[in-house]
Homo-oligomer: A and B are copies of this chain.
């Protein structure tokens, strides 16, 4: 797979000793060689980590020069000391790349409630700053440095030809909600060499996140560190909305975010199925999302899929308690294209055929149709297996 790296960004991902395993990267640095527009979308959890507080205070911006990221420690629930540590990460990074702390954003993920090992992190930032490179391998090294219990790194990139020139868009992500022992955080970092003003960037990012990272759930547990950053440094010379269609860019950005979001759910702890839930026929997109999220978060639905059980009663009853008003006589349900429930009535079907279709594929498709309006939503989740419980219960502080 080719990785299209936006121009005038350089990267380094190294091991500095936050994680015990010395083969695992735990510190990443991304530097833009020119000031970049930067916007962020952050966790809505009232308990949020120090780096979230730092980044919130420093975005939107038109002059971000670097993002410093660490895994192995979330710097969450760490009070004033935590905020001072996040600021120190920004200060040191700024000093090394020749900019002020205000122009550096910070990402952290890992254990909650422990202070960062600042000596190792400081050494790590120095080491990373000495290794910065525009090479795809360096980009991948940063993507690895974000990971905690993820089984694989999650990246996506695209190149958009525009009248003989190209705009590049690349992203990386980690996590799967707040899925793992004392590990928090879904993080994503998206880079482009297009030119864009902060207001447009903010709008584009929120639009894309609403259709991707905000439409996934592993366990319904919102983390303290969730952050999506979007940096645009303009080095392609192409401006969104002028040289380049805003709609096209929005579409590509949304697709890229969806690719990363699906990768997060696919890597959900213990997951054996990626479940796509489509809800249509709602009065509003919010209602469609609410139905989808309720179904996605039902442990009974998730265990049924894990067991390849076409147990439509669990799905239908979850729709019923979603809080969205609808006429039960107009509810229709498909699983993997099989029509199981139509206009409020169960239909005869071959359970073994449906079960087999679930068992044979990593992907499962659920379609819920109401007849209340024309709004729809798509949501992704994974199944719930005994392995999830084992991973999350068989851990001792």
Does B220 contact A313, Cβ atoms closer than 8 Å? no
Which residues from chain B contact A393 at a C-beta distance below 8 Å? 303-304, 306-307, 309, 384-386
Set of chain B residues within 8 Å of A355, measured between Cβ atoms = 396-397
The answer to whether A313 and B219 touch (CB under 8 A), given A307-B394, A351-B396, A388-B389, is no
CB–CB A220/B317 < 8 A:
no
- Of residues 96 through 137 on chain A, the ones whose CB sits less than 8 Å from some CB of chain B are 111-113
Quick check: B389 and A320 within 8 Å, CB to CB? no
Instruction: Answer whether residue A162 sits at the interface, using C-beta atoms and an 8 A cutoff.
Output: no
- Contact, CB under 8 Å: A45 / B321: yes
Give Cα A390 to B48, complex, Å: 34
- Select which of B219, B224, B313 is within 8 A of A320 by beta carbon: B224
Q: Are B46 and A309 in contact (CB under 8 A)?
A: no
- Quick check: B303 and A392 within 8 Å, CB to CB? yes
* Interface members, chain A 293-316 (any B CB < 8 Å): 297-300, 303-304, 306-314, 316
Is A57 in contact with chain B by the CB < 8 A criterion?
no
> Interface 1/0s, chain A 182-201, versus B by CB < 8 A?
10100000000000000000
Cα(A79)–Cα(B298), bound, Å: 24
> Hey, what's the 0/1 contact readout for A27-71 against B, CB within 8 Å counting as 1?
000000000000000001111100000000000000000000000
CB neighbours (8 Å) of A184 from chain B are 313, 317
Asked if residues A392 and B300 are in contact (CB atoms below 8 Å), the reply is yes
Provide the residues of chain B in CB contact with A299, threshold 8 Å: 219-221, 299, 384, 388, 392
Chain A interface, DSSP helix/strand/loop, else mixed: loop
- In the complex the two chains form, is B317's CB within 8 Å of A45's CB? yes
Expressed in whole angstroms, the Cα–Cα distance for A395 and B111 within the complex equals 36
Cβ-closest chain B residue relative to A180: B300
Q: A140 interface residue, CB < 8 Å from B? A: no
Extra 19 A-B pairs, beta carbons < 8 Å, given A47-B319, A351-B397: A46-B320, A46-B325, A47-B331, A79-B345, A112-B317, A113-B346, A178-B314, A182-B311, A219-B300, A299-B299, A303-B388, A303-B389, A304-B393, A306-B389, A306-B393, A309-B396, A310-B397, A351-B396, A388-B389
Binding site for B on A (CB under 8 A): 44-48, 76-77, 79, 111-113, 178-179, 181-182, 184, 219-224, 297-300, 303-304, 306-314, 316-321, 325-326, 328, 331, 341, 344-346, 351, 355, 384-386, 388-390, 392-397
A-B contact pairs, 26 of them (CB 8 A): A45-B321, A46-B319, A46-B326, A47-B320, A47-B331, A77-B316, A77-B341, A181-B311, A184-B313, A184-B317, A220-B298, A221-B300, A221-B314, A221-B318, A222-B317, A222-B320, A224-B313, A224-B317, A299-B299, A299-B388, A307-B396, A311-B397, A355-B396, A384-B389, A385-B389, A389-B389
